[in-house]
Amino acid sequence: MSSGLAAVILAAGKGTRMRSTKPKVLHPLCGRPMLYYPLESARQAGFPQLKVVVGHGADQVREAFPEQQIEWVEQTSQLGTGHALMCAVESLRGYSGPLLLLCGDVPLLKPETVQRLYEYHRHEEAAVTILSARMADPYGYGRIIRDGEQILGIVEEKDADEDQRLVTEINSGTYLFDAAFVVSALQGLTKNNAQGEYYLTDVVAAATAAGKTTRALCVDDATEVMGINDRRQLAEAEVLMRWKINADLLYAGVTMIDPTTVYIDDGVELGTDTLIHPNVHLHGKTSIGRNCIIETGVVVTDSQIAAGSHLKAGSVIEGSQVGPDCVIGPMAHLRPGTQLAGRNKIGNYVETKKAVLGEGSQASHLTYIGDAEVGRNVNFGCGTITCNYDGVNKHNTTIEDDVFIGSDTQFIAPVHIGRNSLIAAGSTITKDVPADALALSRVDQKNIVGWRLRKQKKS
């Protein structure tokens, strides 16, 4: 048994109402699987020992968290929350401290709330402490039955009588247990209820019957304990989480013209004095530096954008590194492997892929740069293409510093262009070009005088 407090996260359910082949806890929420959030809440609240109970799609769930320090516990038959915790008992052998239990489909719970629950549990010296909430419409939730501070039990909706259904304090499904007590109490659970399942809630009644202290801590904001059972609730949670992400960024010095139409994944970093226009999407492992401008319709995924850069409307950036003071777009596409050193311009309808551009190099419009190494202060004329694929293999184009490339040029890779050379417009370059040279590849122009008049006369 490793050191530190222990937490069990229940993530075995199929999530039938999601109507999906994907396990419920893997549905994305602001860029991360739903299960990520209760795991992080437990960690940040000081519970490093994480036991996750999986069942439906167990292999998929495990594969989604390959680098996490997690002990996986399998629940082969879903016989209720009590049975899920029973499955984790063996992994808790030798542990006698406070045991946190979280639900994998309750992603909005804050680490601060978990920490407050833990402190209250310790202060009250309770065997069981429930995280509760008050709801104007508690339909579907188990009701907290109190005798003052002491909790007598939790009654599920299907088992509640008329008076109990009038109770507005509900069970969130989050608990803190005395580990030794709950392991003992699980042995006495039965399936004698409307669902025919082992209710974890029966542990509360068992604690009261044994004369133990039972408590409930009511959250200030009931949305924290919102459970996700279908895609409508997932969308509601997305709105709430996205607003929190955006609000935190606004407080940190980022400007958003309309925060309700900005979509930023959890973990994305933005620098101060950056301006975000409406309908911007920032995904994955993305960071945006200070004093940037991100215009309408920009989508950035897994990319780093340095300070002072301007991403113009409709541009798409994936897996790229953009240096300081670059101007991208409008309607540019930076594909994975693009690296811009700084002060670069990638203009409208320019596409890059595995392209490394030195400082000050630019392609203003209608250009494709792929599998290329480009030096400093290179200018790509309109319609330039690095022809990097021969139908079987990809080949590189190397362009040294200070090269000027005329419009409608094709580089047939592999090819090396020496520094300070000039490529004449309309050229197809199939051979290396030495430094300081003019490269010219055209068919000689031929003018046939009077051809147009003779053609018209015949017709």
- E strand residue ranges, 319-434: 321-322, 327-328, 333-334, 339-340, 345-357, 362-374, 379-380, 385-387, 397-399, 404-405, 410-412, 415-417, 422-423, 428-429
Is 307 annotated to bind ligand? Answer: no
* CA atoms of 106 and 34, how far apart (whole Å): 8
The reply, when asked if residue 291 is annotated as ligand binding, is no
Q: Can you give the pLDDT at residue 413? A: 97
- Output the average pLDDT for the chain: 95
**How far is 383 from 380, CA to CA, in rounded Å?**
8
CA 142 distance to own-chain centroid? 32
Averaged over 412-439, what is the pLDDT?
Answer: 97
Strand pairing class (128-134; 169-178) = antiparallel
Annotated catalytic residue, options 27, 277, 365, 416: 365
Name the pLDDT band for 3 (thresholds 50, 70, 90): low
> Does 156 carry a binding-site annotation?
yes
Residue 2 has pLDDT above 70, yes or no: no
**What's the CA angle centered on 202, arms 82 and 6, to 5 degrees?**
50
Q: Is 365 a catalytic residue?
A: yes
Q: 454 exposed, middle or buried (CB, 10 Å; 0-12, 13-18, 19+)?
A: exposed
184-199: pLDDT as tens digits: 999 988 887 767 788 8
pLDDT digits (tens, 9 = 90+) for 119-176: 999 999 999 999 999 999 999 899 999 999 999 999 988 889 999 999 999 999 999 9
Peptide bond into 278 cis (omega under 30): no
Contact between 306 and 343 under an 8 Å Cβ cutoff? The reply is no
Q: In this model, does residue 428 exceed pLDDT 50? A: yes
Full set of structural domains in the chain with CATH: 6-225 (3.90.550.10), 253-439 (2.160.10.10)
pLDDT tens-place string over residues 287-317: 999 999 999 999 999 999 999 999 999 999 9
pLDDT for the residue numbered 1: 43
Residue 13 assigned ligand-binding role: yes
